[in-house]
């Protein structure tokens, strides 16, 4: 096949893709090969030795959250002991913003590319400021993480199931026409998301919990971002591994180096 | 004062104005000079004899809704009897879309121009299709009107009071940057409105009533339109009656003729 034909084929697979935010489930139940000590991170593979401060901070928070360690020192020891299985989230159909740390008990967005039967995963968006993805791991951050996993996630999950999922592709297509660039401006997408979800939230949740959830989503400002990342990955993954295609299907960094993957060159990272 | 200076003064009064959607109240309690048989309509003054079909249809619905008549024939008789006091809503700080009919027991949006201490009023937006403002008045339309006045209005009122009002000027300023023109496209403004109101709706209402209200507002698509009309009128009214100003502060039609008002020429209509 010529490169042009291969690229057309690749593009068609990407463009015909869908992104349905269909569920929220624990990482260990849905992410492939998630062992009891797997730690997924953003970008191409990187060893603990080369990880930047914020990524180490995120891992510290995640390990304490999981109950694997109690202090940053214990985490550092654990991380160099070989007991943790570090891997790029890209190798597990998963993705996350900034350090992108995902550990087994975290609740993750499940996004389905219904055309190609691909499921992708991402953690829930935690808000701005002092949050895990930026490397923060104090008690306040861990308490927020617990609330998100224990309270927010079940409510959102029930709402998503009642709604039959949220069509992220349609929502994003509208939002980009409404001034969002879907990274640092999500004013339209967040408002459209709330408008779509709110009846279902009210139907399945207690009044106080629903108000708390809506207040959090509204103030977080970019809540839809992580789900959209998973959706985008699911669409680009549909275009990966097309023989002879030169289209870049992944562009990601881990704080140490940046890597790309090229469709026709399989799962190899070029960093 | 020169015309230029007068116009600058007029514009400043308009531009410094605010539009706070502060309350919902029965027309007879807030609209000035609302007698027990007042019927306000859109545009400059017009007599029943000259009113177009849709405006007569709206008045028919309103009279049946008020209990003043039972049939279109009885309404026609009443309308020509001199018992009804017809007036332009513009003479009473009020405004409405299409035929713009307002009768005493209808619940109206109260919008406050806090800078100039002006309160303006408009009916609640009823949705698209077969609705009162287009002249429809069958049982379905009247039942919807009853639901809006008896169920939706108290819920919205309580939510607005709990929210401390909705800043329509800020909301509209955002929405026009998000692709809305605020007449036939209100996608952004409606989503922003729901995002602002929903926590208050949930806090003050019963679950089923809140879901019904949100579903109605969402599907109506342009729910904010009438409140924005009142807000715009309140801002333009602040610019009216500025001596020597040539700025048009009202442009409205009643289905028979179109009229304008010019700031420096007081309340006179030029049709």
Structure tokens at A125: 């968006």
Establish if B129 touches chain A: CB-CB under 8 angstroms.
no
Answer yes or no: is A202 within a domain.
Answer: yes
Could you tell me where the beta strands, DSSP code E, fall in chain A?
20-26, 38-41, 85-88, 94-95, 107-113, 118-123, 166-167, 248-253, 258-262
CA–CA dist B232, B136 (Å, integer): 26
Name which of A66, A74, A61 is nearest A38 in CA terms: A66
Check pLDDT > 90 for residue B50. Answer: yes
State the average pLDDT for chain A: 96
Helix, strand counts (H, E) of chain B? 10, 9
Q: Is the pLDDT of residue A105 over 80?
A: yes
pLDDT band at A1 (very low <50, low <70, confident <90, very high): confident
Q: Which residues of B202-216 are buried (b: 16+ CB within 10 A; e: fewer)?
A: bbbbeeeebbbbbeb
Contacts of B197 (CB under 8 A, 6+ apart): B156, B159, B160, B163, B166
Residue range of the domain that includes B149? 3-264
Whether the CB-CB separation of B187 and B177 falls below 8 Å is answered with no
Given this model, what pLDDT does residue A240 score? 98
Is A211's CB within 8 Å of B202's CB? yes
* pLDDT interval class at B108 (50, 70, 90): very high
A218 touches chain B (CB under 8 A): yes
Radius of gyration of chain A (CA): 18
Q: How far is B139 from chain A (nearest CA, A)?
A: 28
Query: Is residue A102 assigned to a domain?
Result: no
User: What mean pLDDT do residues B21-50 have?
Assistant: 97
Q: Does A176 touch chain B (CB under 8 A)?
A: no
CATH number at residue A17: 3.90.1710.10
Cβ–Cβ below 8 Å for A215 and B202: no
Span B66-98, pLDDT tens digits: 999 999 999 999 999 999 999 999 999 999 999
How far, in Å, CA of B44 to CA of B258, rounded? 7
List, in order, residues 6 or more apart from B119 with CB less than 8 Å away. Answer: B30, B93, B110, B111, B112, B113, B234
Query: Is pLDDT above 80 for B1?
Result: no
Q: Taking CB atoms and an 8 Å cut-off, how many pairs form between chains A and B? A: 57
> Considering the domain boundaries, does residue B269 fall inside one?
no
**Interchain proximity B188–A177, CB inside 8 Å:** no
**pLDDT of A219:** 92
Mean pLDDT of A136-144: 95
pLDDT at A107 over 90: yes
Angstrom distance (rounded) from CA A191 to CA A199: 13
B48, pLDDT greater than 80: yes
- Which residue in chain A is spatially nearest to B218 when comparing CA positions? A195
Give the pLDDT mean for B108-126.
97
Give ∠ CA A173-A177-A183 in degrees, rounded to 5.
75
Residue A104 has a pLDDT of 98
**pLDDT, tens digit, 9 for 90 and up, residues A187-244:** 999 999 999 999 999 999 999 999 999 999 999 999 999 999 999 999 999 999 999 9
Contact A195 B191 (CB under 8 A): yes
Q: Which residue of A has its CA nearest to B194?
A: A195
Q: For chain A, how are helix, strand and coil distributed in percent, rounded to 5?
A: 50, 15, 35
B270 located within any domain: no
Q: How many domains does chain B have?
A: 1
B202 and A194 within 8 Å at the Cβ level: the answer is no
Residue B153 belongs to some domain of the structure? yes
pLDDT in tens, A252-264: 999 999 999 999 9
Q: Which of B166, B199, B205, B220 to mutate to test the interface with A (most CBs of A within 10 A)?
A: B199
Instruction: Mutation target for A interface from B177, B191, B199: give the one with most A CBs within 10 A.
Output: B191
B209 reaches A (C-beta below 8 A):
no
Interface predicted TM-score (ipTM) of this complex, two decimals: 0.86
Answer whether residue A22 is part of any domain: yes
pLDDT for position A25 = 98
User: Distance from CA of residue A120 to its chain's centroid?
Assistant: 8
- Is residue B2 exposed (0-12), middle (13-18) or buried (19+ Cβ within 10 Å)? exposed
Asked whether residue B106 carries a pLDDT value surpassing 80, the answer given is yes
Tell me what pLDDT residue A13 has.
98
Residue B95 is predicted with a pLDDT of: 97
Given pLDDT bands bounded at 50, 70 and 90, which one contains residue B105?
very high
A44 in a domain, yes or no?
A: no
Residues of B in contact with A199 (CB under 8 A): 211, 214-215, 218
Assess if residue A37 is contained within a domain: no
């Amino acid at each position: 096949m010529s490169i042009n034909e291969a690229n057309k084929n690749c593009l068609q697979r990407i463009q015909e893709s869908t992104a349905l935010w269909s569920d929220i489930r624990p990482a260990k139940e849905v992410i492939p090969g998630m062992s009891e000590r797997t730690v997924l991170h953003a970008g191409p593979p990187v060893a603990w030795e080369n990880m930047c401060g914020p990524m180490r901070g995120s891992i510290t928070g995640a390990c304490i959250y999981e109950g694997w360690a109690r202090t940053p020192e214990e985490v550092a020891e654990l991380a160099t002991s070989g007991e943790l299985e570090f891997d790029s989230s890209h190798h597990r159909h998963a993705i996350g913003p900034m350090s992108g740390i995902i550990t087994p008990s975290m609740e993750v967005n499940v996004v389905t590319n219904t055309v190609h039967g691909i499921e992708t995963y991402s953690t829930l968006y935690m808000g701005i400021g002092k949050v895990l993805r930026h490397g923060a791991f104090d008690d306040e951050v861990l308490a927020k993480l617990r609330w998100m996993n224990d309270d927010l996630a079940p409510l959102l999950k029930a709402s998503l199931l009642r709604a039959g999922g949220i069509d992220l592709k349609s929502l994003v297509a509208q939002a980009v026409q409404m001034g969002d660039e879907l990274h640092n401006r999500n004013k339209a997408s967040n408002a459209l998301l709330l408008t779509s979800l709110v009846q279902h939230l009210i139907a399945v949740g207690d009044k106080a919990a629903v108000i708390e959830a809506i207040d959090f989503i509204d103030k977080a400002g970019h809540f839809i971002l992580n789900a959209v990342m998973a959706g985008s990955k699911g669409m680009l993954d549909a275009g990966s591994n097309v023989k002879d295609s030169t289209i870049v299907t992944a562009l990601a960094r881990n704080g140490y180096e940046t890597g790309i993957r090229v469709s026709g060159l399989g799962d190899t990272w070029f960093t």
